[in-house]
Chain A
Amino acid sequence: MGMTMTQKILAAHAGLDRVKAGQLIMVNIDLVLGNDVTTPVAIQEFSKIGKAKVFDKEKVAIVPDHFTPNKDIKAAQQCKLIREFALDQEIEHYFEVGEMGIEHALIPEQGLVVPGDVVIGADSHTCTYGALGAFSTGVGSTDMACAMAAGQCWFRVPGAIKFVLNGKPGKWVSGKDIILHIIGKIGVDGALYRSMEFDGDGLKYLSMDSRFTMANMVIEAGAKNGIFPVDEQIIAYVKNHSNKEFTVFKSDKDAEYEEIYNINLNEIRPTVAFPHLPENTRTIDEVGSVALDQVVIGSCTNGRIEDLRVAAGILKGKKVHKGLRVIVFPATQKIYLKALREGLIEALVEAGAVVSTPTCGPCLGGHMGILAKGEKALATTNRNFVGRMGHPESEVYLASPAVAAASALTGRITNPEDIVEEGVGNASKR
């Protein structure tokens, strides 16, 4: 029996020729990541271990992104703690406000992950880098501490589910719709403990930004990691962003898959997840009338340049619905600057959206756009759990940037096809 690419990457990092699903192994880590919420706890634990220095100061990345720019005194204390640790440990990849961005957009952009790497991060969406053909997964602060000390982490080798994507997606269908569709199909624990491997002819229609979105959300199906086969697009991206050498691992033809799903991309419709689970999906044709108080465009899921281009493209020259709050947060400083130069920020602000500095902010109900009791938000983020964006009795609907921008014009969840065809919200027609 062959191995999946995930199993091969893990085997290579454990110094083994072969591994099989269920096996417990100790794995060498190429990058250990933490943020301003999880790193303070990891530092506490690290100091208990009693090692003076981290195993490799170039293989640790610390990104204060959740409550930065510091939202209050407590957050400021937490950030001070990790800043001092980073300085003291001479951590190469510590990103201060001004250099930073949301970790999962920043790390690939900085070229810190390449195909074949093993990355762990004390943040559940560390799975994002599977889009680059790396093994990456979320862990807790204790794991981060132990990995910072020893450069290793224990894993149970995961089995796998394969998703064969064929056909070409429609104009308004992006990676977000595809992954929401899949989570709707298999459920929030549908891939528990396992790898989600994407494959098929349809991949060639999916941009890197769409793939990052998909890999980002595999955790919402309970998966250990998500992974894409390394193709020309990935290689081009990596060469553009990194000088690191990399190894391409391919799944064996006879690799074992616990399940295989065949998905026709041209049948997927723009998709929305209703409160309070990402699996509560409906196609845009089934949403009915949902009036909104807020629209949020951004996050590690959909705050990349392509997402901003789509949103600005729909909003340009129009006005957001009166009374609706539209908040856009580009995921990194580079993306922000690019959007500025391309005139996207101007289009968004002129339409009546606010644009925030890169931060996790509203995505986790941290700051910069908290919901009051009974309020409804449509967000391009990845989670719509109870209280995720604020009051426990508020509601979050998840969708793509195209649906978010279309909804920003009407104040209710809206199909982008309708906007463009009917010209709803067009300032010149009013």
Chain B
Amino acid sequence: MQVKGNVFKYGDNVDTDVIIPARYLNTSDAAVLAEHCMEDIDINFTDRVKKGDIIVAGKNFGCGSSREHAPLAIKTAGISVVIASTFARIFYRNAINIGLPILECPEAVADIDDGDQVEVDFTAGRITNITKGRTYQAQPFPEFMQALISAGGLVNYLSKQ
């Protein structure tokens, strides 16, 4: 499993209120949520994001509310993987459960800049910064998680079992 895209880089403690503001939570339509993804932290995000692009952020990504709408908005907006130094625990759970790939790799976060082109190999846990010509090693995805992500999340995975 490999993905490639351009990086949107953010800082520490990106919370679920800026990923998808509560004022849009009167719907659970993923397409509508995706239109407002990252709006309060990066007003141009939805105009610029292309399918396959990658979010790279600091520590405690996804802190705050338990809204699954947050990873759902990110995934539906086209983001292929989120790389962060650490994730808040509910976001971590939710991302896995809905099949949004996430990786913890402080070393990659420290080196990757906004706009860099990056390639991720989930099986090997390898992150390649094509722009800078460097690679970083994260924990490879356990098989279970790879299966879960290709199934499109926990529920699809369970119902296929």
Contacts and interface: CB of A to CB of B under 8 A. Distances in A.
Interface residues on B, range: 35 or more
A67 interface: yes
Most interface-central of A66, A140, A385 (chain B CB within 10 A):
A140
Contact of B155 (A48, A192, A385): A48
A192 B60 contact: yes
A335 interface: no
Given A48-B159, A188-B13, A192-B86, A38 B26 contact: no
Given A40-B28, A41-B69, A222-B60, A385 B88 contact: no
B106 to A, nearest CB: 13
Interface in A180-219: 188-189, 192-193, 219
A128 B93 CA distance: 19
Interface stretch (B15-23, B44-52, B129-137): B15-23
A311 interface: no
A: contact size bracket: 35 or more
A275 B86 CA distance: 22
Interface string A51-72: 0000000000000001100011
Given A140-B97, A277-B13, A366-B23, A45 B155 contact: yes
A227 to B, nearest CB: 16
Contacts of B126: none
Given A145-B155, A192-B86, A192-B88, A392 B26 contact: no
B153 to A, nearest CB: 7
Contacts of A37: 22, 25, 67, 69
Residue with the highest number of chain A CB atoms closer than 10 Å, among B26, B28, B65, B69: B26
B59 interface: yes
B147 to A, nearest CB: 15
A189 B18 CA distance: 17
Contacts of A383: 15, 17, 64-65
Contacts of B18: 385-387, 392
Main secondary structure on chain A at its contact with chain B?
loop
A75 B22 CA distance: 12
A121 B86 CA distance: 23
Given A49-B155, A74-B26, A387-B17, A189 B94 contact: no
A414 interface: no
B54 to A, nearest CB: 22
B22 A366 contact: yes
Given A78-B28, A189-B60, 20 more contacts: A41-B69, A45-B155, A48-B156, A50-B159, A71-B26, A74-B27, A75-B26, A78-B27, A139-B66, A140-B66, A140-B90, A141-B68, A142-B153, A143-B97, A192-B89, A222-B88, A365-B21, A383-B15, A383-B65, A387-B18
19 contacts: A38-B67, A38-B68, A41-B69, A41-B72, A49-B155, A66-B22, A78-B26, A78-B28, A139-B90, A142-B68, A143-B94, A145-B155, A188-B60, A222-B89, A364-B22, A364-B25, A365-B21, A383-B64, A383-B65
Interface of A: 37-38, 40-41, 44-45, 48-50, 66-67, 71-72, 74-75, 78, 121-124, 126, 138-143, 145-146, 188-189, 192-193, 219, 222, 224, 277, 364-366, 383, 385-388, 392
Q: Which 8 pairs show the lowest CB-CB distances between chains A and B?
A: A140-B94, A74-B26, A142-B97, A189-B60, A140-B68, A364-B22, A124-B66, A385-B17
